Structure 1
């Protein structure tokens, strides 16, 4: 009985570790941004915490000029939440969205951590087959 309880606690502990393995800072595939992934309740979110060129041509912070919602175009890109509402399901983070401030578009997105520790991302419209993949690395 004790062995069974120990086995159950160990497996629950490893599931919790896997679930939150995504937490922390990641650098995108172009090296232009760092994204901090955090958890609120049972969902995961990511915010731009560093960008290579934070200032525009006038010396002011770059804003979300391509946002389809006009009222948000003056919002600074630095500090913006670009990953939203991911849930952990069987080794993957699914059912979330990723916002691309360069295009002003939001895509459905799934993420998983590869065996080498890199974060594999798949952004898509409609079905996952039609989309784009990226690999992010953990910031050291």
Structure 2
């Protein structure tokens, strides 16, 4: 192999390796939600992409032995009323917007309310910043979910 070809091949390999490392961590995957009050794991949410949008469903609930192990969303409205929370899609229609996903909604099964939502991957892919809000993003609440093992 000539020196010119060798240099060209080495340059291409370096470019591909650099671009692979420069890709932002993905929101797709399994995330553990943390209870705001107890700071204990509350659930595992699986975020997946469908048609270029992100969705998230409840894969697992961490419940105390004396709690209902398969609760229903009794405060939800419409088709979700009294449906099992386990397996429920709570994140819907988030679209990529620079370094975050926005324009979708998040359902809080605890109160049955749906909020506008945006999410962003932080800490090298270890944390997910989840912001639920009404109207403007300033009027809302932020939670940090951690990547599930």
| Same fold at TM > 0.5 | yes
Deviation of 1:54 (Å):
9.1
Distance in 2 between the 1:85 and 1:24 partners? Answer: 16
1:95 to 84, 98, 103: 103
1:125 to 109, 134, 141: 134
Segments of structure 2 that go 5 or more residues without pairing to the other structure are 1-7, 36-40
Distance 1:91 1:66, change over 3 A: same
Is residue 77 of structure 1 aligned with residue 85 of structure 2?
Answer: yes
Deviation of 1:72 (Å):
2.8
Return the TM-score normalized by structure 2.
0.76
The alignment yields a C-alpha RMSD, in angstroms, of 2.7
Distance in 1 between the 2:26 and 2:92 partners? Answer: 17
Return the TM-score normalized by structure 1.
0.81
Segments of structure 1 that go 5 or more residues without pairing to the other structure are none
Distance in 2 between the 1:14 and 1:40 partners? Answer: 24
Is residue 25 of structure 1 aligned with residue 30 of structure 2?
Answer: yes
- Which protein shows a greater Rg? 2
Distance in 1 between the 2:83 and 2:64 partners? Answer: 13
Deviation of 1:52 (Å):
1.3
Where 2:75 maps in the other structure, the secondary structure is coil
Q: How many residues align?
A: 133
Moved over 3 A (4+): 54-57
Distance in 2 between the 1:56 and 1:68 partners? Answer: 26
Counterpart position of 1:37: 47
Distance in 1 between the 2:122 and 2:138 partners? Answer: 19
